[in-house]
Structure 1
């Protein structure tokens, strides 16, 4: 039986998004089999795929021990295109928050001067059914209008490119995000 997963301010359900998976693997950081393993990207000198537990990410020990990041710090706020956030927020997202895998370099949506919560990948079906409020931000980021936007929206797919990545502002609740292709 494993402990309850740690709470991540900017990634509230990493199990549902696929960034954390059930596993019998032993964490390379704490050397304990915790019942879960991080399944997202790791930016470090050594290969750490499926090798770290969520607890070592949450407490920062994995980042410190392996000089690892789980989100590109420059991508928090999309290289300055979205709301600027304090360096402490960038550090928490990049070093103590599970990232997610995208088709290209992942970006982390920001709003109200803070990083937003990552809710998950989405295609047209998910966007129209549960996250329609994110469509204006995704459309603006994609830069499409009219029939081009209609075609692009119809092509969005949760599991195949192009895919949208949905976030929720921690302060005002607004949904936003972006999309990318392979």
Structure 2
């Protein structure tokens, strides 16, 4: 079996469901891979395409099918923007959201936050939640009780430079 590529800004896309584990013919390179990523092509009416990890990692799938796997809005170089948009598998999410940026670089996606991550959330993460959902600091404790769950997940990123954890809230 061919070695699976690593992704600089996605800690483990194979266990975080960015790739489906099943033998599939890659629509880009026409080889059979034991993992594949599903994306909607921006060509030919938005057909679903199955892409092996190698074709995501080298950018060939994005080029061939005019794909943007992730949006990124922060102040980053064009090189980093290209890696996130065209060479990093997309995150499964209910809402479209932009890849997190901190210290002028894209953050590393670590997967979904667990209850312990929420209990240890920084002041800035709590403030972001309060601002985004119009809630008070007193409501934070009620919010994290029983979270995450099937209706509300929290994505966890980490800054590559200062180590800050950045939480992104995703409501169904």
The TM-score bracket by the shorter chain reads 0.7 to 0.9
Partner of 1:48: 48
Q: Rg larger in 1 or in 2?
A: 2
Q: Can you list the C-alpha shifts for 1:88-139, whole angstroms capped at 9, x where unaligned?
A: 21111010001111121122111111001100013xxx241x5755454432
* Structure 1 residues 43 and 35: alpha-carbon distance in aligned structure 2, compared to 1, 3 A threshold: same
Rounded Cα–Cα distance in structure 1 between residues aligned with 2:2 and 2:160: 26
Greater than 3 Å deviation, 4+ residue runs: 130-138
Number of equivalences: 166
Normalised TM-score (structure 1): 0.81
Q: Secondary structure at the match of 1:163?
A: strand
* Structure 1 residues 17 and 99: alpha-carbon distance in aligned structure 2, compared to 1, 3 A threshold: same
Rounded Cα–Cα distance in structure 2 between residues aligned with 1:4 and 1:136: 40
Structure 1 segments unaligned to the other structure (5+ residues): none
* Structure 1 residues 107 and 43: alpha-carbon distance in aligned structure 2, compared to 1, 3 A threshold: farther
Q: Tell whether 2:27 aligns with 1:28.
A: yes
Rounded Cα–Cα distance in structure 2 between residues aligned with 1:142 and 1:177: 9
User: Per residue, is there more helix in 1 or in 2?
Assistant: 1
Partner of 2:82: 91
Partner of 1:152: 143
Rounded Cα–Cα distance in structure 2 between residues aligned with 1:44 and 1:121: 28
Q: Shift of the alpha carbon at 1:168?
A: 1.1
How do 1:12-161 residues align onto structure 2 when only pairs under 5 Å count?
12-39=11-38, 42=40, 44-45=42-43, 46-48=46-48, 51-72=50-71, 76=72, 79-80=73-74, 84-122=75-113, 126-128=114-116, 133-143=120-130, 144-157=135-148, 160-161=150-151
Q: What is the RMSD computed on CA atoms of the aligned residues?
A: 2.1
Please identify, of 148-157 and 167-176, the stretch whose mean Cα deviation from structure 2 is larger: 148-157
Structure 2 segments unaligned to the other structure (5+ residues): none
Contact 2:118 2:144 in 1 (8 A): no
Contact 1:29 1:65 in 2 (8 A): yes
Contact 2:119 2:144 in 1 (8 A): no
Rounded Cα–Cα distance in structure 1 between residues aligned with 2:137 and 2:60: 48
